[in-house]
Amino acid sequence: MFSIGDVRRTCPTAMNLSEWQSRLELAACYRVFDSRGWTEEIFNHITVRVPESDQHYLINPFGLNYGEVTAHNLVKVNANGDGVSGTSDLVNRAGFIIHSAIHRARKDAHCIVHTHHTAGVAVASKQNGLAMDNFYAALLYGKLAYHEFEGVTVHDGEQERLVASLGEKTLLILRNHGLLVAERDLPGAFYWMCMLQRACEVQVLCAAMAGPTLALSIEACEVSSRGLHKTDPGNALYSKVFAAAVRRAGITLEALVAR
Ligand SMILES: [Zn+2]
């Protein structure tokens, strides 16, 4: 996304270079979400595991808009949501419960994204969930799980059931609540949230239109969900999509490193 030279030039003296790179990427992602309106006031989170760390994560400081997040003000927390450098008052501990449960249980899930966008909550509130009847939904075939609503997620007791609901899937619809993606890196999580978001938006519009919606065959869904690698022989699709989204949102390195 940014050249290694730019990353080195802006990296604070006391910070590990890979953590700084991760901070730049995460701050950029918050700002991309802001540019798209995928925000819920000061709530919701995108979290990443700190590189070369098993138990430390980066999260947005509680109280800021997504557009105010920078590489510097991201908070490093442990699995309990305690600030690693004495900044626990800046963390929405209740909101982090979902993220910490999945980060701990899924060692491959280095990035977790959770949103309350209207189209996502609308689909999450429908009895039949996501309809497999449009281009984007077909891409998600076989990757999606559901978790029943138990009330606002503020209790540790739900963590085990949440993890069980997600299993080994990438995408989770939190029924009556919102959307969640757990991926191995941030560009991947962004990509799949884009697809899930598009699927939900199309479904909401389809439901508002007169006449039946054309169903898709299971075969067409399977072909769609398996076919992505054919458009991505260099395995760089997720990074390209994310970098383009950052450019499109007009996010500059200078804005991300502002103090
Ligand atoms: Zn939520």
- Range(s) of the domain holding residue 63: 4-256
Task: Supply the pLDDT for residue 234.
Answer: 65
Residues 6+ apart with CB under 8 A from 93: 80, 81
Q: Are 23 and 1 in contact (CB under 8 A)?
A: no
Distance 143 CA to ligand 1 centre (A): 20
Distance 89 CA to ligand 1 centre (A): 20
Distance 124 CA to ligand 1 centre (A): 12
Per the structure, how many domains does the chain have? 1
Distance 94 CA to ligand 1 centre (A): 10
Distance 155 CA to ligand 1 centre (A): 13
Residues 6+ apart with CB under 8 A from 120: 173, 178, 179, 196, 197, 200
Q: Is the pTM of this model over 0.75?
A: yes
Distance 189 CA to ligand 1 centre (A): 16
SS3 38: coil
From the centroid of its chain, how far is CA 160?
20
In 10 A of CB 6, how many CB atoms? 13
Backbone angle region of 142, left / alpha / beta, with phi > 0 → left and psi within -120 to 50 → alpha? left
Task: From first to last of the 259 residues of the chain, give the pLDDT tens digit.
Answer: 889 999 999 999 999 999 999 999 999 999 999 999 999 999 999 999 999 988 999 999 999 999 999 999 999 999 988 888 756 568 998 889 999 999 999 999 999 999 999 999 999 999 999 999 999 999 999 999 999 999 887 677 889 999 999 999 999 999 999 999 999 999 999 999 999 999 999 999 999 999 999 999 999 999 999 877 667 766 799 999 999 999 999 999 999 999 8
Task: Supply the pLDDT for residue 38.
Answer: 97
Distance 152 CA to ligand 1 centre (A): 8
Distance 239 CA to ligand 1 centre (A): 26
Distance 34 CA to ligand 1 centre (A): 16
Residues 6+ apart with CB under 8 A from 114: 44, 45, 46, 98, 99, 174, 178, 179, 180
- The enclosing domain of 59 has a CATH number of 3.40.225.10
Distance 115 CA to ligand 1 centre (A): 6
